[in-house]
Amino acid sequence: MCTAFVSCGGSKRISSVQSDVLFELEYGNFDNQINMFDVSRVGSIDTSIAMRDGFFYIANSESKKIMELNSYGDLLTIYYNEDFNPVPSFSKGTDGTSATRKAVSYPFNNIKAVSVDSRKYLYAVDVLPQERREYDEEKKMSLAQVVLRFDASGKFLDYIGQQGPGGTPFPFIKNIYTTNASELVVVCTTGDGFQVYWFSTDGYLMYAVPVKKENVPNPFKDEKNDTFFSVENIVPDYNERKLYLKADYFESYTDEASRVQSGIDYKCTLVHPLSVETGEYEKSVAIPAYSEEIAQGFSKVEYEIPYDFLGVTENNWMFFIVNAEDGMNVQMVQVDGQRILKRQIPVSRTDNLYYTFSLSNTGIISALLVQKDSAKVGWWRTDSLIQSVINN
């Protein structure tokens, strides 16, 4: 139950995790540069980052390309739309390979998330052009996204839709994941909740899991005050066919003087593990909120803010992140709720125009930090922190 919360008051100092900036990327259109500020585009920045086994994958939607780099910033593979990018200087032959680097031409449209499995297969979410999109009349939603699949050599294999290779496009994809068994998991949002697709190593659909609000556990539905909740994120387990649903609960607030409902208060956060194979929910885990003190005149008011769910690691730690005064606060919770760690990631809002994070299967937080003159790629070795706790 949420009453088991551990307080993390804003007055308590939380130690920081050391940041290692590994390399920088210049802005531009050449193969070893990224383009973050395309004046011809309207809308949010779509560039994202993923890391696996020490290799970084940057999906630069603004340039319609994906870059694979090592931890020194050396470009190893570039997947690029040749209508928007110059041919890489190292490209040789019809297959685009050189002794140490590869160049793969593909007509990307609008790249979103990327993921890499244990075979080094690359998966990338792409938005279809208007003429290839479909419309679900029953659910009243556009089906406009697919997952592209490239093998370890960079060869394009196929695109994956709802049923598998060449299938119907997905609704809006929130994120994609690859498990330790190299199974692809696609998490989509729909008008009435989420839809999760779990694929085999060959790309064929094994499970389609609808997550509708009426089927998500609500332990407070019989309480006197009205209780509401929203599912903020869903992430898969790396080792089992299991999903973790993070839900934030709120309750109506009634003014004592007028006895009129005048607002909604945050109540708590629960993570609900869901077995994909049986469809059964397991025991829920309460997630402490982030507490922040706000000065109001001569007094201070403490507010509780729910964390965002960043992901879960292969050694069963859930990661949560929230904006704080001095950067980002990270909370790590074992899936059984037995241990909780809190650390701060110093991220300057004045120096960084845009930033995006990703969590590796081993528990390393990676970031792309977009600044005025260049973009920096770094990581926080929270995996070492967790290991030291386990050893002690």
Q: How far apart are CA 103 and CA 252, in angstroms?
A: 56
**Amino acid making up residue 250:** F
- Quote the distance between the C-alpha of residue 150 and its chain's center: 21
Provide the pairing of β-strand 102-105 with 75-80: parallel
Question: In 3D, which of 152, 37, 48 has the Cα closest to residue 104?
Answer: 152
pLDDT of residue 95: 54
| Backbone dihedral angles phi then psi of residue 236, each to the nearest 5 degrees | -90, 160
Q: How far apart are CA 67 and CA 76, in angstroms?
A: 8
pLDDT of residue 90: 83
- Quote the distance between the C-alpha of residue 297 and its chain's center: 38
List per-residue pLDDT tens for the chain, 392 residues long.
Answer: 454 333 333 335 568 887 899 999 999 999 999 998 754 555 577 899 999 999 999 999 999 999 999 999 999 999 999 999 999 988 755 455 566 899 999 999 999 999 999 999 999 999 999 999 999 998 889 999 999 999 999 999 999 999 999 999 999 999 999 999 999 999 999 988 999 999 999 999 999 999 999 999 999 988 777 889 999 999 999 999 999 999 999 998 776 666 666 678 899 999 999 999 999 999 999 999 998 877 766 777 788 999 999 999 999 999 999 998 778 999 999 999 999 999 999 888 888 989 999 999 999 999 999 999 999 999 999 998 888 877 76
Give the DSSP letter string of 204-251: -EEEEEEEEGGGS--TTTTSSS-EEEEEEEEEE-SSSSEEEEEEEEEE
The Cα-based distances of 392 to 31, 48, 386, 388 in angstroms read 46, 35, 10, 6
Q: How far apart are CA 78 and CA 102, in angstroms?
A: 6
Q: Which residue segment(s) compose the domain that 81 sits in?
A: 2-391
pLDDT of residue 257: 67
User: Which residues have C-beta within 8 Å of that of residue 240, sequence separation ≥ 6?
Assistant: none
Q: Residue 314: in which H helix or E strand, if any? A: none
What the block records as the tokens of 129 is: 């052009």
CATH number at residue 276: 2.120.10.30
**Amino acid making up residue 301:** V
pLDDT of residue 1: 46
Q: How far apart are CA 319 and CA 175, in angstroms?
A: 16
pLDDT of residue 253: 76
| Backbone dihedral angles phi then psi of residue 359, each to the nearest 5 degrees | -115, 130
Q: Residue 77: in which H helix or E strand, if any? A: strand 75-80
pLDDT of residue 54: 95
Tally of structural domains, the chain: 1
pLDDT of residue 58: 98
Q: 82 — alpha (psi -120 to 50), left (phi > 0) or beta? A: alpha
Quote the Cα angle for 333-337-338, to 5°.
Answer: 100
